[in-house]
Structure 1
Amino acid sequence: MPGKEYVRRTAITRLKVTEEQRQLFEETITEWKRGCQIATDMAWGTCSAKTEVQPLAYDSIREQTSLGSQHTVLATHQAAQAVSGCIERKTAGKKATQPLFTAPTVKYDTRTMTLFDDGTVSLSTTADRIRCPLALPSEEDGYQQQYLNADEWQVTESTLTVDDDEYLLHIGFRRLKTDAERNTAEDGTVLGVDLGVENIAVTSTARFFPGKELNHRLREFEKVRAGLQQTGTRSAHHTLEQLSGRQLRHIRSTMHDVSNGIIDEALQYDCDIIAFENLTHIRENTSGPWGHRWAFRTLYEQVEYKAEVAGIAVKQVDPVDTSKRCSDCGFTATENRRSRSAFCCGQCGSTANADYNAAKNIGLRYVRRGQQSSRRTGDSQLALKSGTVTPKCGFTAYPDGFEAEFTDKSHSA
């Protein structure tokens, strides 16, 4: 609703399906991809807004596929989103080719999906609407139940996907933000997090999550995907679907481990806020291969819901110049970033790992924003490995028991 602000979450749940239901899902996914592709082909180079793509492609999708009316609408919206993303990349001077829909997924909304109190879900297909059980954990306080059983959480757009022959329903939920969440930014100890390619994530407390293995797998997959798309045969298309599912599972598993590590770091250093860079242009900023943008958003969502359980807020800040700014003296210049991994300030001579320097800048940006806000007390501080720092009061060492780190300077940031 216009003017409303929401907190959004996703609960992933396996479906218990019969062989007949499996066949209907497979047909629905196939027709969904066809519908999205038809809309994309018609909109490419012509329009990108949902309000334009829907009337342009609706009749063609209905004539050429077995999708129902509402799934046809959703397919036009999915195509509009994909085309809009390409236009954004082109506007930013990046290469963008016409989208191809190969992933084994299909979107659902409240008109095409209904959740029931008995733990089952009804889903529209190309034929009949089918009802199947959700494979929920036996514990009443399991992750999914906190959304399924709470009146304040509303079901929103969800996604059905195939993962190693298992059907998984990514159920979207939302609730209205409270007045505190909407109007008040939290003060407290901040953990800054930088996202990148060489390192998936680096925290302001100097914890590194290496990205070499993930980066290699994504680049290799990108090469294979390009070759299969060029081949264009039915067999190549099927192989691409299998590879896509395998890669998505690997990314999701990797991000699960990284998100757990970030939460552990925030808890160890008694942090109240985890600050990320704004994810809008994360792929362009990192120059990462296919999959990185999706991976970073997956990581952010996982950290967000895990942080909520731990009572930690998650925020985003403007990433402009965080990779070029010296976190010690504030001097900002492109030359400071000597390479992907090396940072050396041209003014004060401070040296550090470039991603670690950026993580501190991201956290400090949130801290500084609190000092400029009339709604906050300005009491935020950045968590480092050996102490905390604020722009005004400088560095404060932790009590004995924390290992000091040479990159943390005992003067004002």
Structure 2
Amino acid sequence: MADDYVHRTAITRLEVSDEQRDLLEETIAEWKRGCQLATDLAWGKCNTKSDVQPLAYDDVREQTDLGSQHAILATHQAAQAITGCLERRSSGKPVSKPTFTAPTVTYDTRTMTLFDDDTVSLSTTDSRVRCPLALPDADDGYQRQYLDADEWSVTESTLTARGGDYFLHIGFRRPKTDTERNTAEDGTVLGVDLGIENLAVTSTAYFFSGRQLTHDIREFEKVRAGLQQTGTRSAHRTLEQASGRELRYARDVLHRASNAIVDEALRYECDVIVFEDLTHIRERTSASWGHKWAFRTLYEQVEYKAESEGISVKQVGSAYTSKRCAECGFTADGNRPTRTDFRCQKCDSEANADYNAAKNIGMRYVRRGQQSSRRTGNSQLALKSGTVTPNGGFTTYPDGFDAEFMDKPRPQRANPSG
């Protein structure tokens, strides 16, 4: 089962020749065609992989240049996209048939092979291409902890074209330990909400500002758009340099934010850190592509840093977390009159909107454990002044913790240590 594994993603640029570039571009184009064809055939009929594959596989093979395994993966991608639409529809959101425009293509262990010499072989619409991974010079680059470790095995990965370069998001997984399996329904939970104004807010009222990162991401995107429109070789070199600066800056901010979240979990002796499902976070937050990458990278950084401390990291459904009152449970659009303010129309409770959402996210995980088939869940949500259970049970923290008004945000600590 997927839940029995810990998943990680290591991103690296590929060094490709002009001939390889043409093959990869053709493969991406055919992949998008194959996914769209499978979606068109299955839309309104079915959404599971086991149903979409037999329905669409033959057509994808006949009408595209994809190989047999990539044709199967395209039907699976279509099934996943349709399932996402159905989930949004069930939560009352408008949906339309998915369209595939992103310059990406999915690979699995049959269509991609990693070699010990830091090269990768990728299937294309014609022949396989073997490209060097553009890894950092230092042997301790973060990719090495997965590439060189026997306990991590390669799983489904994604090739993405961006700014004239090709980036391989290599998926890895390893089996969970017994400790990681046993924290699913017990322990203390830290809820985390991600956003634009505040990059991250915890259920313990810790706020990590996102204003500067948002400003810089938007400025980077303006520069990128102008350089891409120019299209000259000089502009391409400048774009590579700007992208490198952007990546280094953003990773530094996300590194500090992830450290702060894990520190908060340790401070409040939390066993689990819970985020909302990131699948549709770009639509929910009106974020740019840069923010979507930042949210996912932050989640992955928290995941591997928390793991080293024995803390699990989970995701829960995001429906109504921003509109539901964490105090009384009343849910309404009018509860959130502005992006930053939450005012319950039923119980008159007021809070920062992101903080209210963080508490809802954490409590949703707590409730899920208590509603499991075994009903063994005995977890509690960490707040600033104590812990709370779904039935209203509240335990104050010992002397030494700040037990002030729990909706008062605590400013972020400067430069948390690594």
Q: Same fold (TM over 0.5)?
A: yes
Q: How many residues align?
A: 377
Residue 132 in 1 paired to residue 134 in 2? no
Give 2:32's aligned residue. Answer: 33
Matched, 1:275 2:274: yes
Residue identity in the other structure for 2:207: R
Within 5 Å, which residues of 2 pair with 1:363-382?
Answer: 363=362, 382=382
1:214·1:251 contact (CA, 8 Å) conserved in 2?
Answer: no
**Closer/same/farther in 2, CA of residues 337 and 396 from structure 1, 3 Å limit:** farther
Using the alignment, how far apart are the partners of 1:90 and 1:9 within structure 2?
A: 30
**How far has the Cα of 1:184 moved from its partner?**
3.1
The match for 1:265 is 260
1:173 correspondence with 2:172:
yes
Cα deviation code 1:346-392 (max 9, x no counterpart): 787653212213323444566788899987886x67253xx554543
* Cα distance between partner residues in 2 of 1:66 and 1:260: 42
Residue 227 of structure 1 corresponds to which residue in structure 2?
Answer: none
Equivalent position amino acid for 1:263 in 2? S
In the alignment, the residues of structure 2 paired with residue 33 and residue 131 of structure 1 have an alpha-carbon distance, to the nearest angstrom, of 22
- The equivalent residue for 2:141 is 142
Q: 5 Å matches for 1:212-291?
A: 256=251, 259-269=254-264, 270-271=266-267, 272=270, 273-278=272-277, 286=284, 288=286
Cα RMSD of the aligned pairs, angstroms, is: 4.3
Structure 2 counterpart of 1:394:
396
Does the Cα contact within 8 Å between 1:252 and 1:295 map onto a contact in 2? no
Find the aligned partners of 1:250 and 1:53 in 2 and give their Cα distance: 42
* SS of equivalent residue, structure 2 residue 394: coil
Instruction: Report deviation, 1:12.
Output: 0.6
Write the deviation string for residues 30-79 of structure 1: whole angstroms up to 9, x where unpaired. 22122222222222333333233323332332233222111111112212
Q: Which amino acid aligns with 2:121?
A: S
TM-score normalised by L of structure 2: 0.72
SS in 1 for 2:407: coil
Change (3 A) 1:282 1:105: closer
Counterpart position of 1:407: 407
Gap runs ≥5 in structure 2: 222-228, 230-235, 410-418
**DSSP-derived class of the 1:35 partner:** helix
Distance apart, 1:158 and its partner CA = 0.7
Letter of the structure 2 residue corresponding to residue 118 of structure 1: D
Q: Deviations over 1:193-247 (max 9, x none)?
A: 12356545322333144479869x99xx9xxxxxxxxxxxxx9xxxxxx9xx99x
Q: 1:95 to 1:255 in 2, by over 3 A?
A: farther
Q: Which residue of 2 aligns with 1:113?
A: 112
Question: Are the structure 2 counterparts of residues 24 and 321 from structure 1 closer, same or farther at C-alpha, using a change threshold of 3 Å?
Answer: closer
TM-score by length of 1: 0.73
CA positional deviation for 1:344? 3.9
More displaced stretch, 111-120 vs 310-319: 310-319
Q: CA separation in 1, counterparts of 2:329 and 2:92?
A: 28
Which residues of structure 1 form unaligned runs of 5+? 222-234, 236-241
Work out whether residues 193 and 276 of structure 1, in 8 Å CA contact, stay in contact via their aligned partners in 2. Answer: yes
The 1:18/1:92 distance shift into structure 2, 3 A limit, reads: same
